[in-house]
Amino acid sequence: MVIIAKRGYEILDNSNPLQLIEYAARLCYKSENFQTGKEFIQRLWKGNGKDSHMSPFEHAQFIFEVPEWYFKIFQKLLNRHYIVLSIDTINKKPRYVVSGNFRSFYELSDYNKDISGFIKEVIEYPLYMIYKQYPDLFKTPLEPVEELSFKVLKYEDLTPLEIERHWRVSVKFISNRGISHEAVRNSSSEDFRGSYSQLSTRYCDFSKDKHGKEIKIVVSSTIMEGSQEYKTFMDFYAQCERIYMYLRDNGTKPQVARDALPIGLETEWIQSMNMFQWMHFLNQRSSSDAHPDMVDLVKPLREEFVKRYPMLKWE
């Protein structure tokens, strides 16, 4: 039986990066209730072997205050859009800040592994800082490197400019796959590219008891319940469900049977962006030109963000 689900969102707690990473990874497979911590996280981390899943590590970030000379080296070497640099003035002195997610710092080190000497240590230092703070992430300890004058910055340490450029927020959305496609499309521009983890129709088998042997639909807010249009859609969704279940009962794999699933299928995804990216996304997707269902989803989120971050220029 087709189930009607409601759209919504939840701003996630990012105070424990490893929990956030595991939650994002498990959302893809709908196993959030089975969080195990260290062992699962280590299996995801690419540096620990072949069985890796690195995209959830994009949801966790580090923000550093760095010396000017280090900042200039990063400016020359930087080729990863997930690492952000900024200069702001505090007490009439410039402050140099570098931020990035766990995956970006790992890949920066991995892609430049042929570099040797002092520059290599400079590149690898953010990864070493992650290791010092979260050793459970690594099966094998990292070799000590020379200490650099880095300072890890928290939200309360940041200026408004630094909040805009460096502070990342993760939000879990529930809607249908049509709206999720629009959200993920926001990554087409490099300046506004976020990080995403989404429920997988390849790995989630809706014919199993775990999913109630049914599909869930998020109906467009523009369709009036009880109308002929509504009945037509519901008949279509019921037919999609019957075809999917028939295919699964006859041995078709979920990754193939999913082709029978409608774009109105309920989905969940976690979206992480810095505040500059969120401002662009929320302003664009809550405008009168946006899809009505997208507006219904993100307009209250924008209002909540405006209250949380009044120091930013939202208009």
pLDDT tens-digit map of 29-58 = 998 777 676 778 888 886 555 567 889 999
Rounded average pLDDT over 203-215: 94
Residue 145's pLDDT is 75
143 vs 25: CA distance, rounded Å? 28
138 vs 250: CA distance, rounded Å? 43
93-149: per-residue pLDDT in tens? 999 999 999 998 888 877 666 666 677 777 788 888 888 888 888 877 777 777 788
Q: Say if residue 23's pLDDT is above 90.
A: yes
Q: Say if residue 79's pLDDT is above 80.
A: no
Rounded average pLDDT over 246-253: 97
Higher pLDDT, residue 254 or 53: 254
- Mean pLDDT score of the chain: 89
% of the chain with per-residue pLDDT over 70:
91
158 vs 22: CA distance, rounded Å? 27
Domain boundaries, given as residue ranges, for the chain = 3-13+168-308, 17-166
Closest Cα to residue 265, out of 220, 203, 210? 220
Element (H, E) at 268: strand 266-274
188-205: per-residue pLDDT in tens? 456 667 999 999 999 999
Residue 143's pLDDT is 78
Higher pLDDT, residue 51 or 157: 157
Rounded average pLDDT over 11-35: 89
Vertex 277 angle, CA 315 and 65, to 5°: 110
Task: State pTM to two decimals.
Answer: 0.92
Residue 119's pLDDT is 72
Identify whether the C-beta of residue 73 lies closer than 8 Å to the C-beta of residue 38. Answer: no
280 vs 185: CA distance, rounded Å? 13
291-302: per-residue pLDDT in tens? 999 999 999 999
Q: Say if residue 1's pLDDT is above 90.
A: no
246 vs 181: CA distance, rounded Å? 27
Higher pLDDT, residue 40 or 60: 60
State which CATH number among 3.30.750, 3.30.1360, 3.30.300, 1.20.950 fits the domain covering 17-166. 3.30.1360
Higher pLDDT, residue 136 or 27: 27
What CATH class does 3-13+168-308 carry?
A: alpha beta
Query: What does residue 92 show for φ and ψ, rounded to 5 degrees?
Result: 65, 15
Q: Tell me, yes or no, if the two domains 3-13+168-308 and 17-166 fold the same way.
A: yes
Is residue 213 very low, low, confident or very high in pLDDT (cuts 50, 70, 90)?
A: very high
